[in-house]
Amino acid sequence: QQQVKQSPQSLIVQKGGISIINCAYENTAFDYFPWYQQFPGKGPALLIAIRPDVSEKKEGRFTISFNKSAKQFSLHIMDSQPGDSATYFCAAGVRGGNKLTFGTGTQLKVEL
């Protein structure tokens, strides 16, 4: 019940296209959903996060969509750029809790 399932495992998108990464969770107690971006040789860095009281959050070209009834959330990267090529992790946790459960990651490659 602690799992966070992430798909796809890898994704190739053309420059200017939309990248979409999906995550699903089972634990209804989760109420904090961050996305992390990781470049090769670096640690993950927080990209954007959402709480379940909103269905969408946008920061620049990055948007999280959240569907509480389906227990799913997704990351959309608009106008994808080669510099967005990285591994993206979704995660889930409980506010006031102490641990994040991460998805297995999506390797995104944006081609020219």
Partner 1 sequence: DSGVTQTPKHLITATGQRVTLRCSPRSGDLSVYWYQQSLDQGLQFLIQYYNGEERAKGNILERFSAQQFPDLHSELNLSSLELGDSALYFCASSGRSMTDTQYFGPGTRLTVL
CB of residue 29 vs partner 1: minimum separation in angstroms? 13
Q: How far is the CB of 58 from partner 1 (least distance, A)?
A: 18
**Exactly one of 29, 46, 54, 78 binds partner 1 (CB under 8 A); which one?**
46
Nearest-angstrom CA–CA distance, 9 and 87: 9
Helices in the chain by DSSP H: which ranges?
none
Query: Cα separations (Å) of 21 from 26, 35, 55?
Result: 17, 10, 16
Q: Which is nearer to partner 1, 72 or 101 (CB)?
A: 101
Tell me how far apart the alpha carbons of residues 8 and 28 are, in angstroms, rounded to a whole number.
23
Residues 22-41 interacting with partner 1 (rule: CB under 8 A): 32, 34, 36, 41
Residues that bind partner 1 (CB under 8 A): 32, 34, 36, 41-46, 49, 89, 93-105
